[in-house]
Each structure stands twice: as C-alpha cells, then as structure tokens.
Structure 1
C-alpha cells in the first residue's frame, strides 16, 4: 500500500499545478488531480510555492480548509468510484451526482461521509466501515 507523507502529498499537488501551468504532459493521476484543481481556483496560491506549502501546517481546528487534504479526498473518491471499492460506492456517488446535478457537489457531500468513516475508524481502533460509508452517501442522495 502506498502511504505518502504530508510532504509527499504537498509536493505532488504543487508539481501537478506547475506542470499544468507550463503545459507539460501529465500522467493519468495528475490529469485527474489537475481537473479537480481547476474546480478550486480559491486554492491556487497554495500550490504556487512548494517550499511554502511544505512549511505551512493546517490546523484541524482552523476554520480554513486544508486544500491538500481536500484535493486528496477528491482523488480518493474518484479512485474509489473508478474501481467501485468499497463495492457500491460508484452507484451511491452516481445517485448523489444525479440528485445534486453536480459531480463536484456530490464529491463534497461524499467527503463528509468519508471523513466521518475515517474519524470513526481512528476513534474506535477498528478498520474503516465501507458499508457505513456507502450508506451515508446513499442517505445524502435521498435527502432534499
């Protein structure tokens, strides 16, 4: 299993942004990352300077969103849907996307569920509950 450090994640997104700005070819995962980065112009300043990004720590209690975590969650959900793992996540996100008429909005709602699942797993010391995650996304898709 690939377990990048916080610094690896920051370097990755800063590198993708630099490559995209320069018009350089991107690898498949970089293309997906770049597409999600395009959806978040409010974070562009964070990706311009890799050294500054590495030096800056985002406080979990801060009201400000961590753009690197946010994009990592977009990538995670994209990958989960592409391989339907946990089984049923693709259909749940597709249903949520149809209900919200926006893949981006659906991802943001699925992120809440993903974050909840990970928090529960860390808090309890148990493995992540993929079924609870899918059920949460499905509940999001069926509420108004």
Structure 2
C-alpha cells in the first residue's frame, strides 16, 4: 500500500513523534529517523505543536516551511538508505567529503531535490531524477 499522507496527517506525525521523543516513549523506525532530523533542527522545535497544523509559510514572504524542510530530509534519508536514484549515495559521500559536514551536504542535496520538485510542479510533469542528480553534480563541480 502506498503511503501518501495529507498535509495535516504528515504534520501530526511530526508533532506526535516529537512528543513521543520528549516523553522517552519507544519509537518506530521512521520515527527514530525523524527524531534524528528534528534534533538537527532545533530552530523548528517551536513549530512542533498543534498551533501550527494549519499555518502556511508562503514563499513570497521568504519563510521556510519547517514541515516541508523536514519532509525533504526524510526523503533524503530514504534515498540514501536504498541508493535511489542510483548513484545518489556516492554523490552524498562526495559532498560530505567536500564540506566535512554531513548536514551541510544534506542541505546541498535538499536544495537540488526541491528544485527538481519545483520544476515538475511548474511544468506539470513527472519529477526528473536527472535534474536532481545533475544539480548535486554541479555543487560538486563535476558539471557546469
């Protein structure tokens, strides 16, 4: 079965997982991955409550949607665990070596992933992994 939560379901998952972590409750595998991402982003902890279930962060205001940012981190964690698209893990390792910082490498990748998604939405097409991988390669200086 395909897991395709609504915006509210995804946000509730983030909030509930954070609460489970704070209460030292056992976590499922995906929850444990999410907690690692959340710990790396203390600037978003204040949004992990019911008050922000319906909040919007319009891009034209220059704000980053914390739930979108964290969701992209989860997508990256999955991609790296299964090396999909093929070669993404090796590119991450190169970025990590280049920056000597795992989180900075992930943020470089996250920007490329967001660009691929934005282009697919703008053009009303399927996401093109080549755009994503080429974006990472550009950050590595492999292609111009």
TM above 0.5: yes
Partners of 2:135 and 2:83 lie apart in 1 by 16
Partners of 1:7 and 1:32 lie apart in 2 by 20
Deviation at 1:137, TM superposition (A): 0.8
CA RMSD of aligned residues (A): 1.3
Deviation at 1:93, TM superposition (A): 1.2
Which consecutive unaligned segments of at least 5 residues does structure 1 have?
A: none
TM-score, reference length from structure 2: 0.92
Give the match's secondary structure for 1:55: coil
Residue equivalent to 1:142: 141
| 8 A contact 2:17–2:31 mirrored in 1 | yes
4+ long deviations beyond 3 Å: none
Residue equivalent to 1:12: 13
| 8 A contact 1:109–1:137 mirrored in 2 | yes
Give the match's secondary structure for 1:61: helix
Residue equivalent to 2:46: 45
The structure, 1 or 2, with the larger RCO (C-alpha pairs under 8 Å, 6+ apart) is 1
Q: Deviations over 1:49-78 (max 9, x none)?
A: 22x121312212222211111100000011
Which consecutive unaligned segments of at least 5 residues does structure 2 have?
A: none
| 8 A contact 1:33–1:75 mirrored in 2 | yes
| 8 A contact 2:8–2:54 mirrored in 1 | no
